[in-house]
Amino acid sequence: MPSVVKSMTAIVARPQQIQPATMASDGNFEKYTRQLTLVEDFIASLRQKGLHQTFKTVDFKHLTETNRLPGKNHARVVVRAPMGTRHVFKGFDLEAFNKHEHSFYEHQRDTMLHEIQTLAALPLHPNIMPCPETLVTVLDPDGGERVCGFLQPVMERETLDDQITNAGDVRIPLLRKAKWCFQMARAVLHTHRIARTYHMDVKPGNILIDQEDGIRLIDWEQSGVSMFTHSKEATIDQEAWEEPPSPHDDSAQPAKPRIVYKPHAGAPRKNLHWGYPDWNVFPIWKKTCPRAAELAEVFSLGRVMWMLMEQLEQSPNPTVWTARSADVPQNSKDIINQCMELDPNARPDLDELVDFWSAEVERLSGAKGASNGTNNSTAISTSNSMNSGAGNGVSKSINNSISTGARNGTGNGTIHNGSNGAGNNTSSHV
């Protein structure tokens, strides 16, 4: 075991090199804590929005860092004392304050606290990481508990991007890929049609693989688009609205309303201060033209699905099919290509995407069962049990047999649903 170095706000243990996460004067630490939000104030703000989420808290000093995860938010794996359980910590420590002091309050409010609020309002879904139930806090000089982050479960199978990287030249089975494509499409459909919100940063690095080999969509800051997967129209400050289909359209398929885009004519606007682009169109589109917001995310899903089928690490490289994906059926390539059409009106709707991958999983499951001489008793089964499907254009879904404990984040007993969790030596805020 490496030795442990204590700092003012954390105990940090790192393999090979030991160093404190934060070193600063008492005055600087006080300024840091004053810029954080009091726990009771944050919970009161949630209640004003009709959200009655309950949280447990753990002091940051009880967390020992073991390693940092890739990405701009510098999430890290920590061990929690005295239980010795592992978690992912996401938040703003003193190190982050030293880097962003001039805008620290707004930064933590508009990203970290916004993410918790978004998840608190988002109905549970098996392919979306649920709202964190444990907030990480520090004490200000007056003894007030201030929110500096939150804990989420460690997923040993890591991200979709890690799965692709770790596979190397070994091809991931098509059935597994189809299941993941189905689940990510279903998660985004739930986000838009049921939760009435958006994600805007769908990419392989924001898709975790859980213990059931299902996907979990994470990172709900809504503070910028992915440089690997964003659609062009989502980076332009523009209005969007639907026009009814032409009455003279005599095509076999019912015509869809056409989305029309009009760039903003005034001075440049900025409502995103920590991400790209300067202007976030998603909140406005969700009110004025929800389908425009959906189709922007369909493009992102197409990029993720292409990277998965090609087995390429996430990157902004142009979409090109190569011999690597010779095993991928042409109809799968076709719908993925349609997702990435430059004209959003040429892309499939989210429910069409869900239905396609549901049928593809069913087809591949049957083929696998036949080749094994079985009656297709795989863990991947189609059903109509998804509560977000009825009435929203979703005719099929995957029953992943995710247990209540797995659905709520962890099986180690340190993060529980509601107020369940006595014996964790943490305070509970109701």
CATH fold for domain 160-399: Transferase(Phosphotransferase); domain 1 (1.10.510)
Assign 100 a pLDDT band (cuts: 50, 70, 90).
Answer: confident
Chain mean position to CA 149: 16
pLDDT recorded at residue 249: 65
Q: What is the mean pLDDT of residues 325-339?
A: 98
Q: How far is residue 37's CA from residue 32's CA, in Å, rounded to a whole number?
A: 11
Q: Are 341 and 193 in contact (CB under 8 A)?
A: no
Q: What is the mean pLDDT of residues 173-187?
A: 99
* Low-confidence winner among 229-233, 281-285, 319-323, 400-404 (lowest mean pLDDT): 400-404
pLDDT recorded at residue 373: 57
Q: Are 104 and 35 in contact (CB under 8 A)?
A: yes
pLDDT at 210 over 60: yes
pLDDT at 73 over 90: no
Q: What's the pTM?
A: 0.81
> Among 402, 415, 419, 411, which residue's Cα sits nearest to residue 124?
402
Bigger pLDDT: 407 vs 302? 302
The pairing of beta strand 55-59 with beta strand 381-383: unpaired
97-106, 252-261, 282-291: range with highest mean pLDDT: 282-291
Phi, psi torsion values for 337, nearest 5 degrees: -60, -40
Give the pLDDT confidence of 260-274 residue by residue, as tens digits. Answer: 999 999 999 999 988
The pairing of beta strand 11-12 with beta strand 63-68: parallel
Q: Are 372 and 262 in contact (CB under 8 A)?
A: no
Q: What is the mean pLDDT of residues 392-408?
A: 36
Q: Are 307 and 328 in contact (CB under 8 A)?
A: no
pLDDT recorded at residue 21: 40
Q: How far is residue 430's CA from residue 427's CA, in Å, rounded to a whole number?
A: 10
The pairing of beta strand 76-80 with beta strand 427-429: unpaired
Is-cis flag, bond preceding 70, omega within 30?
A: no
Bigger pLDDT: 4 vs 35? 35
Give the pLDDT confidence of 111-127 residue by residue, as tens digits. Answer: 999 999 999 999 999 99
Give the pLDDT confidence of 344-388 residue by residue, as tens digits. Answer: 999 999 999 999 999 999 999 987 766 665 444 334 433 333 443
pLDDT recorded at residue 273: 87
pLDDT recorded at residue 418: 34
Q: How far is residue 108's CA from residue 203's CA, in Å, rounded to a whole number?
A: 23
> Among 143, 142, 120, 261, which residue's Cα sits nearest to residue 195?
120
Residue 195: CB partners within 8 Å, gap ≥ 6? 121, 122, 123
pLDDT at 256 over 70: yes
Question: Which residues on neighbouring strands pair with residue 56, listed in sequence order?
Answer: 134, 428
Please state, as a whole number, how many other Cβ atoms lie within 10 Å of the Cβ of residue 211: 15
Q: Are 244 and 254 in contact (CB under 8 A)?
A: no
pLDDT at 98 over 70: yes
Q: How far is residue 116's CA from residue 90's CA, in Å, rounded to a whole number?
A: 11
Query: Number of helices and strands (H, E) in the chain?
Result: 12, 16
Q: Are 88 and 152 in contact (CB under 8 A)?
A: yes
Assign 28 a pLDDT band (cuts: 50, 70, 90).
Answer: confident
Residue 391: CB partners within 8 Å, gap ≥ 6? none
pLDDT recorded at residue 25: 55
Q: Are 308 and 357 in contact (CB under 8 A)?
A: no
Assign 72 a pLDDT band (cuts: 50, 70, 90).
Answer: low
Q: How far is residue 217's CA from residue 173's CA, in Å, rounded to a whole number?
A: 21
Bigger pLDDT: 171 vs 415? 171
**Residue extents of the structural domains in the chain:** 5-154+408-429, 160-399
